[in-house]
Structure formats: structure tokens, C-alpha cells
Amino acid sequence: MRIRYLALEVLRQLKNTRNLVFTFALPVVMLLIFGSVYGSGGQVDDSTHLPWLAVTTIQMGGYGAMMSALAQAFTIVNERSLGWNRQLRITPLSGAGYLTTKVAASLAVAAMSIVLTFGVSLIVFHTPLGVGGWLMAGLGLWLGVVPFALIAILIGQFAKPEFAQPLFMVTFFGLAIFGGLWVPLSIMPDWVSNVAQIVPSYWLNRLGQMGALGSGDALAPAVVLMVWTIALGALIVWRYRRDAARA
């Protein structure tokens, strides 16, 4: 049943026009704009030592992957408001199975977004990065999506329908800015870079960059993202059990 429910979740996300725009279209459009304006000449970014086009591609890939996970928040809010969660509790699908399928669906759609963004970068700009660099960068971004799927679940569990949109926007903009997914942190004030060290989107971006370089200490991003995953997972389990007890 988990597999069937997962397939339905992925299909539902792919049918959602709003999700498609923010998860697939917008990262590609931003990549095309930034790449066309600033990506010629094979410039290398001084802070990452990667081709500028590769840095931008990883940023946009991370943005799309993050959005694919965060978009689950609206789905969960709607399901709770309609009583769908209560209906699921009388089916063979367990609470753990329900939450697991949400994370798995986010990972599945994130993989599609990353592949699409990387593919456009290669086809349109011929971004100078080896096959191994692309694979490891994509893997780093994909693995880093898990905390964002949990953030979406948490928003979905706590937010009421009328507050879901503003809460989502504050969360999304904060993660995008402090993660350096829109504007490189190297041109931001020092305090922004300092705060970014505790934000999961910063380490999502770093994992992608480390994968592209094929070097770097992956322990720091792994530890930070794992701490976020454990803390968010504990909150989600507590909230779900509380809702189940009320039902």
C-alpha cells in the first residue's frame, strides 16, 4: 500500500500546476537568464573554485529540489482540513507509512527537478563539468532534501489553511536567502554568512558544490543536516501522535 500511495503522491504533485511552475519551470528560467547574462567566457567563481555556470546550476538545482519538498506543506494542510488524515488511520497504511511516503514523494520529484536543471545547463550552456562532478553534485543535492521534506510536514501539521501561505513564504524566502540559492553569500553582509551556518539550505548548497568539486569535508554538512533531520522528525512524530490521540 505504501508503494501505491507513493505513486499517487508523485502523480498528484506532477499534476499540480503551481508545483510544476516553482519546482521545474522557475529554476530553469532563472538558470537561462543568469547563464545568458553572466555565464559566458568560462569564468571561475573565486569562493568555490568552480565554473560560474556550475555554481549557478547547483544553486538552481538546489532551489528546485528544496521547492519540491516544501510544496508538500500545502498538500498536508489541505488533507488535515478535509479530514483525510483521519480516514487514512482506518486503512492498512500506518502513520509511519504515511509520513514516509511524503518524504519519498519529495525525493522523487526533487530528483526530476535536479536532472532537468542539470540537463538544461549541459545542453544550452555546455557547462564545463565532468560526468563525475555532475553525478556527485546531483547526489549531494538529492540527499540534502530530506530535512526540507520534514519542514514541509511540520508546517502541514501545525498550520491552519488561512495561515499556511504566509508561513510557507516566510520559511521559503528565509531558506533561499540564507542558503545562498538566489544570491551568492560572498556578496552578502558578514552577519548573513554567519547565520547561514545553521540553516539547512546553506549545507544543501555546499553538498552540491562539494560533489561538483569532488573534494571537501562532507562531515560538517552531514552532521548539520542530520541534526535538523532528527529534531524535525521528533517534532513530527510527537505532533502526529497528538493528532491521532485527539481523533
Q: Is 124 exposed, middle or buried (0-12, 13-18, 19+ CB in 10 A)?
A: middle
Q: Is 40 exposed, middle or buried (0-12, 13-18, 19+ CB in 10 A)?
A: exposed
Sorted by sequence, the CB contacts under 8 Å of residue 69 that are 6+ apart come out as: 106, 107, 110, 145, 146, 148, 149, 151, 152
Q: Is 3 exposed, middle or buried (0-12, 13-18, 19+ CB in 10 A)?
A: exposed
Give the residue with greater pLDDT, 218 vs 225: 225
Domain boundaries, the chain: 2-246
pLDDT band at residue 244, thresholds of 50, 70 and 90? low
Torsion of CA 132, 135, 136, 142, to 10 degrees: 180
pLDDT of residue 218: 77
The x, y and z cell numbers of residue 192, run together, are 548573513
**Mean pLDDT score of the chain:** 85
Model confidence pLDDT, tens digit, residues 145-172: 999 999 998 988 887 877 878 888 888 8
Give the residue with greater pLDDT, 46 vs 209: 209
The C-alpha R_g of the chain, in whole angstroms, comes to: 18
Range with lowest mean pLDDT among 132-141, 191-200, 235-244? 235-244
Model confidence pLDDT, tens digit, residues 15-48: 777 778 888 999 999 999 988 876 655 688 887 7
Model confidence pLDDT, tens digit, residues 112-137: 999 999 999 999 999 888 999 999 99
Cα distance between residue 238 and residue 221, in whole Å: 26
Q: Is 166 exposed, middle or buried (0-12, 13-18, 19+ CB in 10 A)?
A: exposed
The x, y and z cell numbers of residue 55, run together, are 555554481
Q: Kindly report whether the global pTM for this prediction surpasses the value 0.85.
A: yes
The x, y and z cell numbers of residue 198, run together, are 545553521
Sorted by sequence, the CB contacts under 8 Å of residue 28 that are 6+ apart come out as: 60, 116, 117, 120
